[in-house]
Amino acid sequence: MTLKFNKQQLEAINFYKGACAVIAGAGSGKSTVLLNRVKTLVRDYGEDQEDILAISFTRNTANELKKKLHKQKLTSVNVGTFHSVCRNILLKEGIEINEKNTIKEWQRENCFKSLEEKPDIKDITGFISYQKNFLRGYTDEFLIKESKYTEEQLRLFYKEYEAFKSKNGLYDYDDYLLECYKVLKNNKHKYTYEFILVDEHQDSNLVQNLILKELCASGNIFCLFDYRQAIYTFRGGNTEYCMEFEKDWENATVINLDTNYRSNKNIVDNANSFIKEYYGDYEHYADSVPNIHNNGEIQTLTYQDREAEGLNTADKIETLLKAGEKPSEICVLYRLNSHSSYVENELKRREIEYDITNNGSFFKRKEVKGIVAYLRLIRDPHDDAAFRDIFTLRNDPFRYFSNKNLKDVESFAGQTNMSLYEAMLNLRFDRPTQNDNVLKFQSMINKLQMQVLKGIAVEELIDNVVKTFRMNDYIEEKYLDEDEITDRKESLNTMKKFVKNNNLEQFINFVYGSKPSKKKNENAVRLMSIHASKGLEFKHVFLIGVEDGKFPHRKSDLLDEARLFYVGVTRPKESLYLSQIGHCNMFFDEYRQHELVC
């Protein structure tokens, strides 16, 4: 089958030498243009495959491009991510960065604990990575990035971190780029390509942009991007390098792929109206033009709380499925993973198969999984899987028990034909405090079992498990971010709402009658964060949880959040269900501004 390209697509595909920026709007056929441009360079212009480098943003998209090129017999084109390209260059220089010498989380923790007893690893490493992506060392002026620490503290952490890595011969993920950039600067023109193609250039950071200049001495660079879909600025991505492309590359050509082949007309038009408020003044801004002239279905819905949102979203999904729609063509999107819990609960209850991207199931959260494990052991002391979940939770009173202790329990259980719980009660540990803690745990379980025998309500039992095992303290000790602590504590209350008929057995069976399997189900309703949906499309999309402070998030830059919202509302092909919690939320109202006044 011969593909028919529009004028702008052909201009991009047939572009030969020089610098070219391709602004590829949502649904504009970007991947097809990239593939066919490589084909044109080789087959029409006679360029050697080895002289071409194609860089994609993720390993998955790079592998997908490689597969497509191989089908076209283009097996010698260089394809990879920035990190894989840099790794290969470093290997040629005798510098190997691999799994063994990449710093681990526990090593970071040990490093920072030399300065603070309970360091916020995520905060500190996020800040350091951000500065490194802008070539800022610990003695340089820092770029502004939100942190709970003072600038003086962050400088000390940064200095200690780099010293720790150097002393132990370790690298981090950012060092792939930084070390490669040093090699390229010190070996001018040693590693270059005649033609370079870059996908998702809106997410490139400073170091990546500088690496491109070293790799592409020819100036024959071809970058595809959509500044409206830049959603990784928190990692150092900077839209400046794509929006001001002409400043970095002489005599650059700018091409707008503005035809949207994905979505129905009103879905495209509404997305245009929303994002134009933020980018309408940009010199190369152009509305996306719908290729499909029929309108789709857009519903804007308001709910009092997330429970009502989850119930009604599941109702609508069930209606679509009964009408014959494929589950895989239905997707629920959200800003925060915690927003999916009520939808997931309702899908599970109705036995509708679903798949959650990045293992983000509510029931797999550590604190939720822990509570359910306690409930299982209370119900059945012979439940070995529940015992293992409790033991590995490392919560009081098992906080100072080791993996060796667990192996000893398992070995003793095997020798005596006991359950793991029974074996633990009968085994003598080396340390007296451990034996005391075993008796303490037995007493806790016994008292909770007595409550069950007396007919305690399941919701009250959950409350008592939380109190008995000090789960709120566990969350406060395990996590440092205030928002995450609040969110995880709230999950303990949320799970009580999933109890029906005051039946413990039924509740446990409900939780473990889990529909999302370890292996991805290709024919299931999809649940994912908006970040994970980038580059994907679905016939029906539910964008849930619009609520000021959470979406847009109070800790994020408003423009970053607006781009994220734009990504969400450009995923559907035929129908969009947009819902808010409460009234008069910013993005919801901006999207509906032609029909809603608060």
Please give the single-letter amino acid code of residue 7.
Answer: K
- Phi and psi angles of residue 117, each rounded to the nearest 5 degrees, phi first: -65, -40
SS3 360: coil
Q: What is the dihedral of CA 569, 575, 581, 586, to 10 degrees?
A: 40
Report which of 8, 5, 2, 88 is spatially closest to residue 53, judged by C-alpha positions: 88
Q: Per the annotation, does 18 bind a ligand?
A: no
- In whole angstroms, give the CA distance from residue 299 to residue 572: 12
- In whole angstroms, give the CA distance from residue 418 to residue 429: 17
Report which of 29, 9, 583 is spatially closest to residue 304, judged by C-alpha positions: 583
- In whole angstroms, give the CA distance from residue 327 to residue 347: 12
What is the DSSP code string of 79-99? EE-HHHHHHHHHHHTT----S
**Which parts of 346-391 are beta strand (E)?**
354-356
Block residue for tokens 């490589």 = 38
The DSSP 8-state label assigned to residue 78 in this structure reads E
Q: Per the annotation, does 28 bind a ligand?
A: yes
562 Cβ neighbours under 8 A, 6+ residues apart: 274, 275, 278, 552, 587
User: Which pair of tokens denotes residue 21?
Assistant: 């920026």
**Which parts of 119-252 are beta strand (E)?**
195-198, 221-225
Please give the single-letter amino acid code of residue 361.
Answer: S
The DSSP 8-state label assigned to residue 327 in this structure reads G
User: Which pair of tokens denotes residue 341?
Assistant: 């819990």
Alpha helices per DSSP H over 192-305: 206-215, 240-243, 245-248, 265-279
Q: Per the annotation, does 31 bind a ligand?
A: yes
- In whole angstroms, give the CA distance from residue 78 to residue 85: 9
SS3 574: strand
Q: Per the annotation, does 217 bind a ligand?
A: no
Report which of 310, 545, 596, 589 is spatially closest to residue 553, judged by C-alpha positions: 545
Q: Per the annotation, does 535 bind a ligand?
A: no
User: C-alpha 111: how far from its chain's center?
Assistant: 26
Strand partners, 580: 302, 546
- In whole angstroms, give the CA distance from residue 77 to residue 491: 49
Burial class (CB in 10 A: 0-12, 13-18, 19+), 45: exposed
SS3 68: helix
**Sign of the four-CA dihedral 533, 535, 538, 544:** positive
Q: Per the annotation, does 24 bind a ligand?
A: yes
- In whole angstroms, give the CA distance from residue 103 to residue 133: 17
Q: Per the annotation, does 25 bind a ligand?
A: yes
Answer left, alpha or beta for residue 251, where phi above 0 means left and psi between -120 and 50 means alpha. left
For residue 331, what is the enclosing H or E element? strand 330-334
- Can you say which residues are annotated as belonging to the binding site? 24-31
- Can you say which residues are annotated as belonging to the binding site for ATP? 24-31
